[in-house]
Amino acid sequence: MAVDEVEFREFFASQYVRLCWLGLLLTGDRAEAEELAQEALARTWWRWAVHRPDDPAAYARKVLVNRRRSLLRRAGVEARFLARTRAEPVPPPGDEQAMVLWQAVQDLPPRQRAVLVLRFHEDLTEAEVARLLGLPLGTVKSLAHRGLARLRDRLGSPDLDPAKATRKEAR
């Protein structure tokens, strides 16, 4: 099956920045994010050539997330070196608090970060995240819970901490 180049180019234009952004959130490294997006779209193109996916955007996202996971898992330590020694994360434009939060997300362990990014950036449900990451639903809930708790702890902001906020109000 031949791929309609014009149609795919439109698809590319609509998805490229979105995928780069997702890659940036998952890796914290702009060059790695771009490489992941390119790879995801290339694999989507080859898949398209055989049989057009029902939802190409979801397919590309799945490829990107899986590619990121398999880099971490299959290549083992080498990939972890890549993951850990990435360049300084590039924060998004935004206020200072958003930048602090962005940095805190980047400092989370990879699985917690992936769950939070997919939940709060991609707006996926926990069940969808579980399917995408190939994890049990309970694990996803647990990772999300621990990730959020870690963020609260890391940020240490009273208004982000229910217990502190309550104490503050009581005073």
Name the site residues for other proteins (rule: CB under 8 A).
Answer: 9, 12-13, 16-18, 20-21, 25, 30, 34, 38-39, 41-43, 45-46, 72-78, 80-82, 84-85, 92-94, 97-99, 101-102, 105, 109, 111, 116-117, 120-121, 123, 136, 138-139, 141-142, 145-146, 148-149, 151-153, 159-163, 165
Q: Which is nearer to other proteins, 8 or 58 (CB)?
A: 8
Give CA–CA dist 158/171, Å, rounded: 13
Nearest Cα neighbor of 63 from 45, 88, 89, 81 is: 45
CB of 125 to other proteins, least distance (A): 14
Q: Give the Cα separation of 7 and 137 in Å (integer).
A: 36
Say how far apart CA 114 and CA 65 lie, in whole Å.
9
Give DSSP secondary structure letters for 37-70: HHHHHHHHHHHHHHS--SSHHHHHHHHHHHHHHH
Closer residue to other proteins, CB minimum distance, 1 or 77: 77
What is the number of residues in the chain? 171
Smallest separation, CB 53 to other proteins (Å): 16
| Shortest separation between residue 55's beta carbon and other proteins, angstroms | 20
Q: Tell me if 68 sits within 8 A of 26, measured CB to CB.
A: yes
CB of 84 to other proteins, least distance (A): 6
Nearer to other proteins, 62 or 106 (CB): 106
CB of 12 to other proteins, least distance (A): 6
Question: Which CB atom, from 20 or from 62, has the smaller least distance to other proteins?
Answer: 20
Q: Contact 22/12 with Cβ under 8 angstroms? A: no
